[in-house]
Every structure is written in structure tokens, then in C-alpha cells.
Structure 1
Amino acid sequence: MSTEERLSEIEYQKKRMELNRRFVEMYEDEVSYILEQKEDIEIMEKLSGEEAKLISEEARKYNRIFARIFYDSAGGRVSDEEFLPLWEREEEIRQGLSRIQSLEGEKKQIEKEISVQEDEERDLKRKEREFHGKFINRRAYFLSSLIMALTAAGLGAAAVFYFELRLSVSLWPAAAAVFGAAVILLILRTRKKKAAEKKKMYHMVRNHKETSGRRLKSEYDTIVNDLEFCREKYQVLFGYISEEQWKLFEFCAKVAAELNCSEELSAQRKTFVSAMEQCGMHAPQAWCYYPKAIYDIPKRINRMEWLSGRQNICEQAMVQHERAIRNNLLE
């Protein structure tokens, strides 16, 4: 493995570790949110009669206002059981879906750029090899011609001295031969130099392309990791939302908009939250989406069981990512 490949692998492993840390943080936050609700249920069980009556009355008022607006808006197309989980995470879900679409678009674009980049790199490597071959051949021609010229000059000089030829007789042919050899050598040297320059140019361009390719690959890995994060979040964190509920998401968003615009519901929500805060509850906002669990004991028990199930799922996923971090550190 080359140094560049090793550095790329190290960078990739760092990104994978960072991704696993993001997963761990996400699941820790979710487990913390779940535990707050479970603690609230325990607090409900220990409330005094007056406190229990207070939050029960406020929860009933809030639920009556919610039900009136909800059923008018939904028109029976969706039940409150299907709607409330989507309403609770509506903004988070909407942002996540938008993020996934954006990342998928960026991923496709970078894949195209990487494909073009790889084609250009292959073409540059081919041209570099081609001019490297030309450079080797032309250098060989130049050296061969130079050696032959020097040999011929040496033999000519030896002949002049050995046969005692008159200098005036041998000078002009020798000068012509030297001039011709010099011209040939100059031409060969120029061609060799051009081949070397071309080879160097293609080598520099290829290095630049490889650097750009590594940058694109790094961006691609980041996008792939972000996509993996978003998709796992939807598969695990929002795994309790059924396929039918997802199909109704846009419709539920319109219903949620009407609920959020209701001044009457907003005012009662504030009163309801304030009452829960007075009773020492940790996640009062969460119970605005499940008000029946405040005054309906069976629904409260079901909510507790549901929260425990979600906690187990999140903790198992968190353990897997913590194990991946440890394995990465040991490598």
C-alpha cells in the first residue's frame, strides 16, 4: 500500500469513527429523553391527590381542544394514534427527509464527477506512458548518435595522423561531417527535451487530478456517512412509525399546521405544561402529544411498556456503535 493510499485509509477510518460517535450521541440523547418520560410516569404515581387532579384536569382540557380541532381537520382520514407520533417529531422528520434528498442529489453529482475524474486520470496515465516511451527512445537515439559521432571524429583524427593526410584535404570533409553530426544531435536533443517536457507536464497534471480525485473521494465518503446516519436514524430511531403512517406524513403535516395555529390550543398547552412543571415533571412537552396517558391508567401503562421497548432498541444500537469505536481504536 502506497503512502497516499495509507493516508486515505486513515482518513476514512477517522470518518467512520466520527460517524459512530455521532450515532452514540444520538442514541444517548434519545435514551435520555425516554428516561425522562419514564421518570415522569414514576412521578405521576407518587403525586398527591391535588396534584394528580390538577394535571389530570389540565390534560383533559388540552385533549378536548386537541380532539375538536384534530377531527375537524383530519376528517377521519387518520386516527390520533397514527397522527401523534408524527406530530411529536414533525419538524425533525421534515428536516431529515429534506436532508436525505439533498445528500442523495449531492452523492449522484459527486459520483458523476468521480467517474469523469477517473476517465481523465486514465487518459493522462496513458499519455504519460506514451511520452515516457518516446523520451526513452529519443534519449537512446541521441546517445547512440552522440557516441557514433564521437567515434567517427576519433577515427577521422586517427586516420589523418596515421596516414599523414594533408590537413587541407581532410579539413572540409571533416568540417561537413561535424556540422552534419551536430545538426542531427541538436535535432535529437530538441526532440528528447520536448518529450521530457511533455512527460513532465502530463505527470504534473495527473498529480493534480489525483489530488482532486482524493478530495472528491473524501467528500463522497462524508456524504455517504451522512446518508448512513440519516437512514439509520429513520430505520431505528423512528422505526415505530409504520409505512402507512409515512404515507400520511404530508397530510398529517397539514393537520399539524392547523393545530399549531390554534391560539386556544396553544394557550391550553402552556397551562398544561406549567401544571406539569409545578409537579416536578422532567419532560412536560412530551406529554402534550400523549395527554391521555396522564389521566388514563391503562394508556399510561402501555406508554411505559412502549418506552421500555424503545429504550432497549436504542441501547442495543448504541452498544453496537460503541463496539465499532473500540474495534477501530484497536486496529
Structure 2
Amino acid sequence: MKEKKDSLTYKAAGVDIEEGYKTVQSIKKEVESTFDSNVMDGIGSFAGMYALAGYREPVLVSGTDGVGTKLEVEFAMDRYENAGIDCVAMCVNDILCHGAKPLFFLDYLACGKLEAEKAARLVKGIAEGCRQADCSLIGGETAEMPGFYPPGKYDIAGFAVGVVEKSTIINGSNIQEGDLLIGLASSGVHSNGFSLVRKAVTNYEEKYNGHIAGELLVTPTKIYVKPILGLLTKLPGAVKGMAHITGGGFRENIPRMFREDFTAVIKKGSWEILPVFKYLMSKGISEEEMYNTFNMGIGFVLTITPEAKDAVIKYMENIGIKATQIGIIKKGKKGICLE
């Protein structure tokens, strides 16, 4: 008589669907805390639905991004929630550059072996990011991929959709010579350049001026949505262009505001360089490379009319955001000039 073989199961192949169910149950309250009255269905549906109302000529604005290799540092420092905030920030700050209000967000989480507790912490951070951005987390995907991702490794990405009235889109088309550049303080390195960071920093427990290096590095990306949308309402027409300082630092991102050939003349020393950037420079990264890779303490840049300068700076500082004139727009080759 032939011996009966054990049947092959999904769990035996490395995917535990029970852990997935546990994750969904543990994140339900966090996800629902982001819902507004326009969300039309709850967690668990095949697709998220969001009603669009109250606009005359709505233009949908979308963006997608991930956290990149900052994840390695965050996981090493046990800061899973921070990774979730970063994921939201990288998407919503991008669509904000055109004056769009984020409406909803979707996340994608991939791993080799799902651990419900860690996955729930990641989603908890995503929900917190959505609350900071005043948008709803209406869906997502958790992919368990044994043999593809090593155990303990997670990747996370997101997708945001926002809306702006066609008549109020900010695209830099009316920027002119003499307009001012206002920099808004960052919270730290944010979520780009970490392949270079990880090359330079090999001990996250190392001390620098009383700080633990890893703690400086994992500070979540600042979400600028509420401050900027408030400013656009308070001072209509004052802001002509906006740039989110992400990968490529100053040199790549600031010129993305311009429709014509302008030079952004940036005055170094006009804002505070945060300790984390001084720490990275102490590791042998040149100043030029720093400005080409990181935000250097300025996470978001506005191009404004000169007459709006005092009002813009005062508005931001009244809500706790350090704002500084960091430069001016001049006619010339499209790009930046650091002085």
C-alpha cells in the first residue's frame, strides 16, 4: 500500500493568511480614523471609493513614491511608525507643489514573511501621516513574498490623489525676475539620499554632539500640507511656484518650479543647517555633494512676490514653521547658483 503524502499548503510555501487577517483586524481602527464624509466604503472592499464634490473645475493631481533605503535605518532603530509617516509625506508633499489638497491615499506593503505586529505599526504610521495631511487612507495591499524578500525585510510605497481648482493650479508660469525664494525648515534628512547616508554611517548608535546618529537620521519627513494650504487661502496669488526638496537636493528640485530659463540664486548661510547634515559632512561628504543630494535644512521652497515676503514669513512662524528668505529669482540659465 502506497504511503499518503502530506498535501502542499500555502502556509507550507511560506504565506500565512491567518497573519494577514490578524494584520487587517489590528489596523482597522487606525485606518478608519482617517476617513472623512466623502469615503464611501470601509476597509476590506475590493476598491476604495471617494466622492468628489464642491468643485467647479476640479483637476485631479496624483503622485506615488516610497521610503527607499531609509527603511533599513528605521527598522534597525525600531521606528516602524516613522516609515509609514515618511511614505505619506513623500507623496502628499509632491502633489502639494501644484496647490492640490490631498484627498486619499493607498499603500503597498511587501515582505518575505508577514509579522502582524510590525505590519500594524507601519500602517499606524501611514494613518498618522494621513491625519497630518488631512487625507483618507482608503485602501492598500499587503504582499507576502517568501523567497523574494529576506525574512524581516519590508518595502513600502504609496499613492496619493489630490484635487485643485483649474483656475488656481500653481505651475510656475507667472514666475518672474525679482521674485523671492522662501525656504521652509525641514525636520531632518527626510526620505532621500539614504544610499549615501548608509555608505557614510556604519554605526547608528554613534554619538554626535550629544545625539544618537540613528535617532537623527530616522526623524520623520515633515508634512507641509496644512501650512501650505492655509497660506494659499490666506494670501491668494502670493505663491507662484513650489518645490519639494527630495532626491537631487537643491540643484534638481528648485528649477522644477520654472517654466522659463531662470536662475535661483541661493544665499548659503541664510538658514540654519541642522546638526544631522553637519554630522554627515563630518563623515567625508563634500558640501557640493550635500546640496546635490539632501535638503540641508530646507524641506520645501516657495517662489513668492516680493511684497508678500513679510506676510508669508509671519504666517508660517505663527504656526510654528521656520520660514526664511533663502534667495531670489534672476534671469539666466535654468538652474541654481549657490553664493
TM-score by length of 1: 0.19
Q: Which has the higher strand share?
A: 2
Higher CA-based Rg: 1
Determine which structure has greater relative contact order: mean sequence separation of CA pairs < 8 Å that are 6+ residues apart, divided by chain length. 1
Q: Which has the higher helix share?
A: 1
